[in-house]
């Protein structure tokens, strides 16, 4: 499966030595330059898009993978209907807690996320289950994510014929 990455694109960050890239760019500049290839990818029907670990303080105070605004840009403004994937939730750029990173990403609009450290997987799954049971993650949000993932799998022939 092909994925466009790293949404929403980025100019060289201001802080190359920090764990998460801070990009000083206005939304107008982002829309006119960085978002253009992602719009083309959406029109072409790319199956997935990976949300990059960036902060655009002039646009939103939240990192891109935790930002409902940026998922809205991807889905509503660009018309992307595929799987939105948060980049690796075990990276330092995602924070110190992969469970929280997964929960924040899902609430914001991620359908899936990358777990680069498999040792974290069980804790992340348990954390998501607890967040759903406690009403932190709406069940409807998970159902939307599952529907997109199943649609992508069906499109590329990964589901058994009924």
Sorted by where each begins, the domain ranges of the chain are 3-155
Predicted pLDDT at 10: 77
The answer to whether the beta carbons of residues 60 and 30 sit under 8 Å apart is no
> What CA–CA distance (Å, rounded) separates 1 from 148?
13
Tell me whether the omega of the peptide bond preceding residue 6 falls within 30 degrees of 0, making it cis.
yes
Predicted pLDDT at 56: 95
The answer to whether the beta carbons of residues 155 and 147 sit under 8 Å apart is no
Predicted pLDDT at 161: 78
What six digits make up the tokens of 48? 């997935």
The answer to whether the beta carbons of residues 96 and 109 sit under 8 Å apart is no
> What CA–CA distance (Å, rounded) separates 78 from 154?
23
Which residues of the chain have a pLDDT value below 70?
12-17, 162
**Claim: this prediction has a pTM higher than 0.85:** yes
Predicted pLDDT at 162: 60
What six digits make up the tokens of 84? 């939105």
CATH class, domain 3-155, is: alpha beta
The answer to whether the beta carbons of residues 103 and 136 sit under 8 Å apart is yes
**What sign does the CA torsion over 64, 69, 71, 75 have?**
negative
Predicted pLDDT at 53: 94
């Amino acid at each position: 499966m092909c994925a466009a990455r790293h949404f929403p694109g980025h100019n060289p960050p201001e802080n190359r030595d920090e764990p998460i890239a801070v990009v000083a760019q206005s939304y107008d500049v982002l829309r006119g330059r960085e978002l253009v290839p992602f719009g083309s990818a959406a029109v072409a029907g790319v199956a997935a898009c990976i949300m990059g670990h960036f902060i655009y303080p002039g646009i939103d105070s939240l990192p891109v993978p935790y930002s409902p605004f940026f998922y809205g840009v991807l889905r509503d403004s660009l018309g992307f209907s595929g799987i939105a994937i948060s980049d690796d939730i075990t990276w330092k750029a995602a924070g110190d807690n992969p469970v929280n990173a997964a929960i924040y990403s899902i609430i914001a609009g991620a359908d899936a996320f990358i777990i680069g450290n498999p040792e974290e997987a069980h804790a992340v799954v348990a954390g998501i289950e607890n967040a759903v049971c406690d009403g932190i993650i709406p069940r409807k949000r998970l159902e939307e994510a599952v529907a997109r993932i199943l649609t992508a799998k069906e499109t590329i022939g990964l589901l058994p014929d009924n």
